[in-house]
Amino acid sequence: MAVRSEQIELKPRLRWVREDQANHRTGELDLPRVDLESGEVLLGVQLRFETWGQLNAHADNAVVVCHALTGDAHAGDGEEGPGWWSGLIGPGKFLDTERFFVVASNVLGGCGGTTGPATVAWDNQPYGLRFPLVSVRDMVGVQLQLVDVLGINEIATVIGGSLGGMQVWEWACMAPERVREAVVVAAHAAFTPLGMGYNAVMRQAITADPDWQNGSYYGTGRQPETGLAIARQIGLLTYRASELYRQRFGRTSTRSDSPQVAWEAFVRPQYQVESYLDYNGRKFVGRFDANAYLYLIRAMDGHDIGRNRGGMNQALTLIKSHLTLVGIRTDYLYPVEELRTTAGQAVAAGVDCRYVELDSPHGHDAFLIEQDALANLIGESREGRKA
């Protein structure tokens, strides 16, 4: 329930939902109260999370993995199958679960088990647009409550890409004494105007769909499938590089030799790239909530570590962690030039910061696709820091 100033003294409650492997568990954390940056207060928040490995006796071997826009807590292998970063998480892998206690949670405002706009509120109706706006800092604030309840004293590494990388930036600023290493992958310290522009168009695609119904589509039998599918297609165009689209699709046609009328040419895919976007847009509708998408991309718009901290340079002085910034050569959405500039600013602010670059044709999504290469690159950076 969203309220302004009520006080509540209940304690968080942790419960383990599933243990499907010796080193993998799924849990839920009930938080009686979450104070948001906006001044709103959420009561009765549930946080879905997963863990791999075991916390050591000193409670200082934890790794926090932060997911991207359409990700969730299932980052590694489990009963549900491989996770979105299974190549990095597991015994003997980059995030070695025989050494580390790996924790990943679904973000506040999402639709992967953590409280968001689709969650049933105090009146037994989904929140819809009654759910308060959340920020990346709010997401991290909830994650901080989770690591406290799990008994974690010090965090070996916080790592994530895209929206996950934005969370890493905030971890480094909000909990500088607890995070030994922060690895930001493909995420600027402040979201770019280009990214905000794409988000604005994606929002319009969803909200212009009559089935959006001002966000109150739950239980009506209709949801903004067309608008959400279009928003996803717009996103896909920014996540992959031009050279990859050229290599994968070229100008290959899907048309038959039979004559066409105009309406077919306008509403049916004519080229393979159109079929790819159409298929993935429709597939996305089945697994993601449109309102959650709106809330999360608006949170991305507000990401700026310098906001209310005296500006970027002042915010960078808060960081005490070993900071690694990973750029992707072909990333259209998060250009490497800006990450390099920020790395220089961080060094000037006294931060132990290294910039490394992943040479991949896959564009922004390379951090999900090129997992072995990403692990090697970060590992080499660590070795260089030791030297």
Among 298, 318, 349, identify where a domain stops.
298
Both structure tokens of 15: 């419960």
Catalytic residue among 188, 322, 362, 364: 364
Residues 281 and 373 in one domain: no
Both structure tokens of 365: 């999504």
Per residue of the chain (387 residues), what is the pLDDT tens digit?
Answer: 454 444 445 899 999 998 887 789 999 999 999 999 999 999 999 999 999 999 999 999 999 999 999 999 999 999 889 999 999 999 999 999 999 999 999 999 999 999 999 999 999 999 999 999 999 999 999 999 999 999 999 999 999 999 999 999 999 999 999 999 999 999 999 999 999 999 999 999 999 999 999 999 999 999 999 999 999 999 999 998 887 788 888 888 877 666 677 777 787 878 889 998 999 999 999 999 999 999 999 999 999 999 999 999 999 999 999 999 999 999 999 999 999 999 999 999 999 999 999 999 999 999 999 999 999 999 988 877 765
Residues 330 and 185 in one domain: yes
Residues 178 and 312 in one domain: yes
Residues 199 and 256 in one domain: yes
Among 240, 270, 298, identify where a domain stops.
298
* Residue 8: predicted pLDDT: 47
Both structure tokens of 8: 């509540």
Residues 223 and 362 in one domain: no
User: Residue 267: which CATH number?
Assistant: 1.10.1740.110
Catalytic residue among 72, 209, 304, 331: 331
Residues 242 and 94 in one domain: no
As a whole number of angstroms, the distance between CA 249 and CA 141 comes to 42
The domain of 252 spans 195-298
* Residue 9: predicted pLDDT: 55
Residues 274 and 312 in one domain: no
User: Residue 327: which CATH number?
Assistant: 3.40.50.1820
Alpha-carbon torsion (211, 217, 219, 224), positive or negative: positive
Judge residue 150's burial from the number of C-beta atoms within 10 Å of its C-beta, 0-12 exposed, 13-18 middle, 19 or more buried. middle
Other Cβ atoms closer than 10 A to 233: 20
Cβ neighbors of 268 (< 8 A, separation 6 or more) are none
Confirm whether 74 is a catalytic residue.
no
* Residue 34: predicted pLDDT: 97
CB 102 within 8 A of CB 24: no
User: Phi-psi region for residue 288, left (φ > 0), alpha (ψ -120 to 50) or beta?
Assistant: beta
Residue type, position 33, single letter: R
Residues 185 and 325 in one domain: yes
CB 29 within 8 A of CB 36: no
Confirm whether 331 is a catalytic residue.
yes
Catalytic residue among 162, 304, 322, 365: 162
CA distances from 65 to 19, 72, 115, 125, 338 (A): 19, 10, 19, 32, 24
CB 232 within 8 A of CB 281: yes
Residues 204 and 115 in one domain: no
* Residue 386: predicted pLDDT: 67
As a whole number of angstroms, the distance between CA 112 and CA 298 comes to 18
- Helix extents (H) in the chain: 136-149, 163-174, 193-207, 225-239, 242-248, 262-267, 272-285, 290-301, 312-316, 336-348, 366-369, 371-386
Residues 8 and 127 in one domain: yes
As a whole number of angstroms, the distance between CA 186 and CA 367 comes to 8
Helix axes 225-239, 193-207, angle to 10 degrees: 160
Cβ neighbors of 273 (< 8 A, separation 6 or more) are 245, 249
Q: What is the DSSP letter of 130?
A: G
Among 263, 298, 333, identify where a domain stops.
298
**Residue keyed to tokens 């309406």:** 263
Residues 350 and 246 in one domain: no
* Residue 271: predicted pLDDT: 85
Alpha-carbon torsion (150, 154, 156, 157), positive or negative: positive
Residues 318 and 227 in one domain: no
Please count the structural domains in the chain: 2
